[in-house]
């Protein structure tokens, strides 16, 4: 997990758009794994920092590959995240994002709730992409409010779950738990406007994270996940 995090930070740094902490070391000692990162004295983000972050994230998303996924698997929190490369975004998302989390939910005892509606949604994914073909953008992958900050007015991101995928999935995560103000979204939209139909696709991408929270933290996330599934259906 820490090796994948280190590789993710290096991938983000190589884009040269948003600051990330330097990786000092990663390994094992006395039977324990560790990662050592540059210490960054975080401060409350200003309106200007949020605006700058929106612009920088849009530019980060302009860094693309020919296919979706990444050269290695990583984790979303402690949950394995499969990044086997694919040139088909719908199939990639169906197998390695939505389908993977639905299988975990069934294993964790929620199959009676999620199995039928979840599989029906998987079958209908092409409808959400009828007029939209996403680029394989470089993503942070777990961009909630606790994974970005400000250092001397400069945005910084950390704790990534990097892969190449639809940029809307990063935006979806920013909207799930808060922590991003209007200047951030306005700046992103000015730099790279969102495509028509993104509102429904954002719900789909939020579902991935809600199912992951259901699998990690339990039943309190079931109602919200089921509401999104039913809405999308």
Distances (CA, A) of 170 to 68, 109, 158, 174: 14, 29, 14, 7
Phi, psi of 24 (to 5 degrees): -85, -45
**Which amino acids are annotated catalytic?**
142
CB-facing half-sphere around the CA of 134: CA atoms within 13 A: 30
Q: In the chain, what's the furthest Cα-to-Cα distance?
A: 54
Distances (CA, A) of 64 to 32, 93, 131, 199: 35, 17, 20, 22
The whole-angstrom separation of Cα 99 and Cα 106 is 11
Residue 132 contacts residue 195 (beta carbons within 8 Å):
yes
């Amino acid at each position: 997990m820490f090796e994948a995090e280190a590789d993710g930070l290096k991938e983000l740094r190589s884009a040269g758009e948003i600051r990330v902490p330097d990786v000092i070391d990663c390994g094992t000692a006395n039977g324990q794994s560790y990662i050592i990162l540059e210490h960054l004295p975080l401060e409350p983000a200003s309106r200007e920092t949020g605006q700058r972050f929106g612009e920088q994230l849009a530019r980060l998303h302009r860094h693309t590959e020919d296919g979706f996924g990444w050269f290695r698997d990583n984790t979303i929190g402690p949950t394995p995240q499969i990044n086997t490369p694919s040139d088909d975004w719908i199939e990639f998302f169906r197998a390695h994002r939505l389908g993977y989390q639905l299988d975990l939910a069934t294993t964790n005892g929620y199959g009676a709730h999620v199995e039928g509606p979840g599989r029906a949604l998987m079958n209908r994914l092409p409808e959400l992409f009828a007029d939209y073909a996403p680029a394989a953008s470089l993503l942070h992958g777990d961009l909630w409010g606790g994974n970005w900050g400000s250092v001397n007015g400069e945005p910084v991101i950390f704790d990534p779950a990097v892969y190449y995928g639809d940029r809307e999935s990063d935006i979806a995560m920013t909207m799930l738990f808060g922590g991003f103000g209007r200047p951030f979204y306005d700046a992103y939209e000015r730099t790279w406007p969102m495509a028509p139909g993104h509102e429904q696709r954002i719900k789909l991408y939020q579902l991935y994270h809600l199912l992951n929270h259901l699998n990690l933290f339990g039943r309190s996330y079931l109602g919200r996940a089921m509401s999104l599934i039913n809405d999308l259906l």
